Amino acid sequence: MSAATAGDTPGGAAGRSAGTPRAGEAGEAGGAAEARTAKEAAREGAGSDRSPEGGRTGGRARPGVAVLRLHRTALLVWGGYVLAAVAVLVWTVTVTADAALREQARCVGEPVCGIAATLAYGDRIGMVATAVCYGFLVVAAFAGGALFGRELENGTAHLVWTQSVSPARWLAAELAVAALPLLLGSAVLVLSFRWAWSAHRELLGTDWTFADVFVARGPATAAYCLCALAVGALAAVVLRRALPALGVSVASVLALNLVLDGFRPSLWPHVTRTARTPFEVSGSAWQIENGAVVGGRRTAELGPHLCDGTAAEVRRCMAEGDITGYYAAYHPPSHFWPLHLAETGIVLAVAALATGAAFLLLRHRTA
Amino acid sequence: MSEETAALKAVGLGLRYRRRRGHVLRDCSFRLPAGRVCALVGPNGAGKSTLLSLAAGLIRPTEGTVHVLGTGPAEARERFAYVAQDKPLPPQLTVAGTLRLGADLNRARWDAAAAGRIAYAHHAPDGDRSGSLDPGARIRSLSGGQRTRVALALAFGKRPELMLLDEPMADLDPLARRELLGALMGEAAEHGTTIVLSSHIVTELDGACDHLLLMGGGRVRLAGDPEELVAAHTLLTGPARDLTGHTVVESRGTDRQLTALVRPGGPPGDDWRTAAPSLEEVLLAHLRNPGAPDLVTEGTVNP
Amino acid sequence: MIPSSLVPRGPGRSVLRLHRAALWTWLSLVAATSAALLWAYGPGHESALADALRQCPDGIALCDRTSGPWIGRYDTVSALGTIGVAHLSFLVAGWAGAALVGRELENGTAHLAWTQSVSPARWLAAELAVPALFVSAGTTVLVLLHRLMRDGGRDLAWASWYEYDVFRADGPVAVAYALCGLALGALAGLVVGRALPALGVALAAQLAVVVLGNEYRPKLWPVVSVTGTGSVDVPSGAAHLHQGVITAGGARRATSVPCDFADGPNGANGVRCGAEDGASGVWATYHPESHFRPLQLVETGAVLAVAALAVAAAFLLLRRRTAAASPPAAAGRAPGSVPADGSATGASV
């Protein structure tokens, strides 16, 4: 510390002339007079307002509070969105399910039967599934655009960095303050969706393998949100402009999601079942591939219905085609968690990489 | 001790952008003693804002080092204040909210009274308070000058040991300029705060500063006490003749008559009429002649 | 022959210069989508067809089970192509609201243009005309390639012409929606005056137009109505809309599923449907595939009308705002002895 600190506290000034009017109101224009009034003001202000000493016992800066102050609207919007989604789920399951169930009961054994209520029920649950799963796109837009991009573009970030908060600490505060509500909100969304989705499975046309249902039923939802946050931060730090960062971060996380969507069945070893006779795997399984075993080789191009007819006909047909059996590759429903957690891990790893890159780049750029 | 610690010291400081040609800032070395009010002057594009950004630690130099209050900009962060040229502020906050932001981000040092005085107190001869800010007004609804006032309030509230102000006067009306200068002088006198304020208008700072840095073409051209700088120059007028022995900053004239601004190397001959130049003349002469040698008066460069 | 209007001059050229990054993004997007559509039309379709024929040597039409690696890839690419072309208008709307108009107003570039020799109206005209040119051209190319892909892939396609995304990607409505997005985006940018909020407003407005379009599409052209005693004959490939029974009094009552829904011989269930109140027959309405063209044209007109309204509103708003010479009223909250400086308060247009 240099000795210059000696000058920065108006020593003994606190407590003097507490009742005097604010110097600023009584002052007059003019350089010399200004200098004097400013001096007096410094003393009187210290007495009449909160004393600087009182302010200084506060200790470390509170960037988290500052982040909240800056992004209160976004927090309210996120809270509103979570509440709205939960409200739709609760209303759908508790209020509208009865009509759909009555409809289903009435339809038992009836070849012609209106199922409008059932369809509406499934639509609403499906809508929430889409919203919960793809909410990370909005998070990416917000993180790249409003949270980091705009601050870097219009210089607010520079304003903050020249307060008592370092760039790295500010980035950490923004990430943490955004991550906490995202985690909490995702947890609420996932738990309510799990409850709503399993409440009346017979009314739904979706199963656990549907992309949005798959993501919305576990921690991958939160992982995608955190990843979107991190990628948004990285895009903003790289590009330093709000709209390009918004576009790049949304496109990046969407690409990540599409790629993982494509590779989803490969993230955990699947089960392969073979048999001499054609068979169907359980309807709840996620069938990846099936076909015939021809000459000891599995060929997906040949379906299980190649040989029809009587037992003798089937035997002859199989012998002719050198078909020794049939196989199916699939994920049983019990693979949901390993598959889901593998995807969650990958997404979190991408999030961690993006976060690390953002911090590195920021440190490289600023002193 | 504060005499020895420079508030701001640059050694061979330089910055170049990879993809753009040339340096934005090149080989800057100077030393600003603590407690001074320093004018950072120079034409547009001279590198003033870059120098201040480097000092504030917002960007990293590609060459050399900058020391702020005896340490690096990052370590000194809590002890200096910086106001950027375009006065960025979160547009969605109110004036009061912006000051609370300052309090949150500078908990160790924040002086609400000092900030409030700059933001809310307005000195007008007839008691007109229309210039003072409404605490509930949103930043986005403020005029440029009003925004400058809030940005400065944040700087004052931090109670810094060093203020780095980039073009703080640009948006202010003449009355507000005098007011700001008064407040800055008061701050310097009361607390020993070092103040660096940039401007491309030389005259507006004349008399208010006891230190001067002239920048041009990314270099420090002149540095030192303005009076010493002026005293180091002489304006010579006389018949065209050899000027060897003097350092010529600028010479103009016809075959018969010559006017030159020089740093005298000895007593000028009898046929020269000598005059003391004004500060503005010295500065402009250096700006017009990029080839003229730089001058850093004694004591400003650290041994 | 290149019309001289294709070579932008004055404000048009400055629009191009200001939004060069957007232009390149758009061109690469169109190129990438075109490549995907062409792949699906050519090599993708070929490989998928080979996949299918290996499983169904007697012909795909007779085959109920077609799957395979190439079929999967073909399905994915063609579906993504359709989704992409169908949703381009959102990209245009968001860009127009945020980057084209919102940001220019927010950071004062628009004011800069207005204080050059360009009137605000001419500025807006250039802002709209130049992107409109590129948006129309790019979308037209993509629509043509999409049609090519769908016509070539009829044997493997499972998406029908009346599905939301297919319909919006397969004809002139795609261009209309894209232009509508441009107009709504520009209007949103002008109204909001800030880049990121304008982005949200523009997307919401475009979403509303698209949802309304999906909702009211069947009403844009007279439907075909058929009646029958036990069952009705709706041609394959038609968009089935409504159905019901004709009561004894001759009135039509709608039912939520067709009375001949089940497999029973000769509409056995139609009898049951009618039995409820002594119905004399059943009815159904639908759009045959031949209605694709008139539906496209009418919807194109309607969407272009919305776009025109938005453009007109934008010009009106701009004229009202810039004609008022007084300092911006939006800045009203802060009384200032310091005169409000328009260029410095760029945000508060």
Mean pLDDT in residue range B281-291? 87
Distance from CA of C342 to the nearest CA of B (A): 8
| C203 and C93 Cβ atoms separated by less than 8 Å | yes
Q: What was the pLDDT predicted at C230?
A: 67
Same domain assignment for residues A252 and A319:
no
* pLDDT tens, residue by residue, C318-333: 988 886 433 444 433 3
Report CA torsion sign: C155, C159, C163, C165. Answer: negative
Contacts of A26 (CB under 8 A, 6+ apart): A37
Residues paired with residue C228 on neighbouring β-strands, in sequence order: C282
Q: Which residues of C touch A242 (CB under 8 A)?
A: 195-196
Average pLDDT, chain A: 82
Domain boundaries, chain C: 8-219+292-325, 239-287
In chain A, which residue's Cα lies nearest the Cα of B191?
A: A7
Same domain assignment for residues A245 and A205:
yes
Question: How far is residue A284 CA from its own chain's centroid?
Answer: 28
Q: Which residues of A touch B129 (CB under 8 A)?
A: 25
Are C345 and B145 within 8 A, CB to CB? no
Mean pLDDT in residue range B19-41? 86
Same domain assignment for residues A84 and A173:
yes
Distance from CA of C131 to the nearest CA of A (A): 18
Cα–Cα distance list, B63 to B12, B13, B42, B66 (Å)? 7, 5, 22, 10
In chain A, which residue's Cα lies nearest the Cα of C243?
A: A114
Question: A301, A305, A308: best mutation site toward chain C, by most C Cβ within 10 Å?
Answer: A301
Mean pLDDT in residue range B146-168? 92
Strands (E), B110-246: 162-165, 194-199, 211-216, 219-224, 234-239
Residues paired with residue B165 on neighbouring β-strands, in sequence order: B83, B197
Place A198 in a pLDDT band, splitting at 50, 70 and 90: very high
Question: A2, A25, A51: best mutation site toward chain B, by most B Cβ within 10 Å?
Answer: A2
In this predicted complex, what is the ipTM? Answer: 0.81
pLDDT at position B255 over 80: no
Of A242, A262, A303, which is closest to C195 when you measure between CB atoms? A242
Mean pLDDT in residue range A193-207? 91
Residues paired with residue B235 on neighbouring β-strands, in sequence order: B261, B275
Q: How far apart are CA C42 and CA C137, in angstroms?
A: 23
Q: Which residues of A touch B69 (CB under 8 A)?
A: 2, 4
Of C330, C333, C338, which is closest to B137 when you measure between CB atoms? C333
For residue C197, the SS3 value is helix
pLDDT at position C297 over 90: yes
Residues paired with residue B38 on neighbouring β-strands, in sequence order: B196, B211
Pairing between β-strand C239-246 and β-strand C281-287 as defined by DSSP bridges: antiparallel
pLDDT at position B231 over 60: yes
Average pLDDT, chain C: 81
Give C300 or A298, the one with higher predicted confidence: C300
Kindly report the number of other CB atoms within 10 A of residue C318's CB atom.
21
Q: What was the pLDDT predicted at B32?
A: 92
Place C191 in a pLDDT band, splitting at 50, 70 and 90: very high
Same domain assignment for residues A117 and A169:
yes
Q: What was the pLDDT predicted at C345?
A: 36
Are A114 and C255 within 8 A, CB to CB? yes
| B207 and B178 Cβ atoms separated by less than 8 Å | no
Are C336 and B91 within 8 A, CB to CB? no
DSSP designation for A96: I
Is B18 an interface residue toward A (CB < 8 Å)? no
pTM of structure: 0.81
Are A37 and B80 within 8 A, CB to CB? no
Cα–Cα distance list, A90 to A102, A122, A215, C206 (Å)? 18, 14, 20, 29
Same domain assignment for residues A299 and A159:
no
Pairing between β-strand B257-263 and β-strand B194-199 as defined by DSSP bridges: unpaired
* Weakest mean pLDDT among A35-49, A168-182, B5-19: A35-49
In chain C, which residue's Cα lies nearest the Cα of B90?
A: C347
Q: Which residues of A touch C256 (CB under 8 A)?
A: 114-116
In chain C, which residue's Cα lies nearest the Cα of B87?
A: C344
pLDDT at position C146 over 80: yes
Mean pLDDT in residue range A50-66? 62
Q: Which residue type, as a one-letter code, is found at position C151?
A: D
Q: What was the pLDDT predicted at A186?
A: 97
| A325 and A292 Cβ atoms separated by less than 8 Å | yes
Strands (E), A83-134: none
Same domain assignment for residues A254 and A295:
no
Give C171 or B178, the one with higher predicted confidence: C171
Residues paired with residue A275 on neighbouring β-strands, in sequence order: A326
pLDDT at position B246 over 90: no
Cα–Cα distance list, C274 to A110, A114, C230, C253 (Å)? 15, 15, 8, 10
* pLDDT tens, residue by residue, A109-149: 665 666 788 889 999 999 999 999 999 999 999 999 989 99
Cα–Cα distance list, A135 to A61, A222, A228, A322, C83 (Å)? 32, 10, 10, 51, 19
Name the nearest CA neighbour of C53 among C75, C68, C42: C68
Contacts of B11 (CB under 8 A, 6+ apart): B29, B64, B65, B66, B67, B302
Mean pLDDT in residue range A336-342? 96
For residue A57, the SS3 value is coil
pLDDT at position A14 over 60: no
pLDDT at position C159 over 60: yes
Residue A5 placed within a domain: no
Mean pLDDT in residue range A221-240? 96
- What are chain B's domains? 6-225 (3.40.50.300), 227-293 (no CATH)
Same domain assignment for residues A181 and A308:
no
Most confident of A348-357, B23-32, B230-239, C312-321: A348-357
Q: How far apart are CA A333 and CA A146, in angstroms?
A: 40
Same domain assignment for residues A222 and A124:
yes
Full domain range(s) for residue A304: 286-331
Mean pLDDT in residue range C230-239? 81
* pLDDT tens, residue by residue, B100-130: 999 988 888 899 998 988 888 765 555 555 5
Kindly report the number of other CB atoms within 10 A of residue A152's CB atom.
19
Same domain assignment for residues A159 and A308:
no
Are B108 and A58 within 8 A, CB to CB? yes
Pairing between β-strand B273-275 and β-strand B295-296 as defined by DSSP bridges: unpaired
Of A45, A56, A158, which is closest to B109 when you measure between CB atoms? A56
Of A116, A246, A303, which is closest to C55 when you measure between CB atoms? A303
Are A66 and B105 within 8 A, CB to CB? yes
Of B91, B136, B143, which is closest to C340 when you measure between CB atoms? B143
Are A6 and B60 within 8 A, CB to CB? no
Q: How far apart are CA C207 and CA C240, in angstroms?
A: 25
List all residues of chain B from 230 to 249 with a beta carbon under 8 Å from chain A.
none
Same domain assignment for residues A193 and A156:
yes
Neighboring chains of C (3 or more beta-carbon pairs < 8 A): A, B
Give C205 or B221, the one with higher predicted confidence: C205
Q: What was the pLDDT predicted at C269?
A: 43
Average pLDDT, chain B: 85
Give A23 or B229, the one with higher predicted confidence: B229
Place B2 in a pLDDT band, splitting at 50, 70 and 90: very low
Residue A132 placed within a domain: yes
Q: Which residues of B touch C337 (CB under 8 A)?
A: 122, 124, 128, 130-131, 173
A294 membership: H or E segment, kind and range: strand A286-294
Name the nearest CA neighbour of A142 among A233, A224, A68: A233
Q: Which residues of A touch B97 (CB under 8 A)?
A: 69
Is C282 an interface residue toward A (CB < 8 Å)? no
Contacts of B59 (CB under 8 A, 6+ apart): A365, A366, A367, B15, B50, B53
Place C104 in a pLDDT band, splitting at 50, 70 and 90: confident
pLDDT at position B274 over 80: yes
Domain count, chain A: 2
Q: Which residues of A touch C18 (CB under 8 A)?
A: none
Name the nearest CA neighbour of A170 among A350, A352, A359, A351: A359
Q: Is B301 left (phi over 0), alpha (psi -120 to 50) or beta?
A: beta
| C259 and C243 Cβ atoms separated by less than 8 Å | yes
DSSP designation for B94: B
Question: C107, C337, C345: best mutation site toward chain B, by most B Cβ within 10 Å?
Answer: C337
Q: Which residues of A touch B178 (CB under 8 A)?
A: 29-31, 34
Q: How far apart are CA C259 and CA C273, in angstroms?
A: 6
Are B133 and C345 within 8 A, CB to CB? no
Are C273 and A112 within 8 A, CB to CB? yes
pLDDT at position C313 over 70: yes
Q: At what angle do helices A242-263 and A336-365 cross, to 10 degrees?
A: 150
Mean pLDDT in residue range A269-286? 87
Mean pLDDT in residue range A75-79? 95
Q: What was the pLDDT predicted at B128?
A: 53
User: What single string gives the DSSP state of each residue in C57-111?
Assistant: TT-GGG-S----HHHHHHHHHHHHHHHHHHHHHHHHHHHIIIIIIIHHHHTTHHH
Q: What was the pLDDT predicted at C66?
A: 63
Mean pLDDT in residue range C194-222? 94
Q: Which residues of B touch A33 (CB under 8 A)?
A: 182
Q: What was the pLDDT predicted at C5?
A: 46
Are C338 and B173 within 8 A, CB to CB? yes
Q: How many CA atoms lie within 13 A of A161 on its CB side?
A: 26
Of C68, C199, C264, which is closest to A300 when you measure between CB atoms? C68
Distance from CA of C317 to the nearest CA of A (A): 25
Residue A105 placed within a domain: yes
Work out the burial of residue B146: count CB atoms within 10 Å of its CB; fewer than 13 is exposed, 13-18 middle, 19 or more buried: buried
- What is chain B's percent helix, strand, coil content, to nearest 5? 30, 30, 45
Q: How many CA atoms lie within 13 A of C196 on its CB side?
A: 24
Q: How many Å is the maximal CA-CA distance in chain C?
A: 88
Of C330, C332, C334, which is closest to B146 when you measure between CB atoms? C334
Q: How far apart are CA A155 and CA A240, in angstroms?
A: 10
Place A52 in a pLDDT band, splitting at 50, 70 and 90: very low
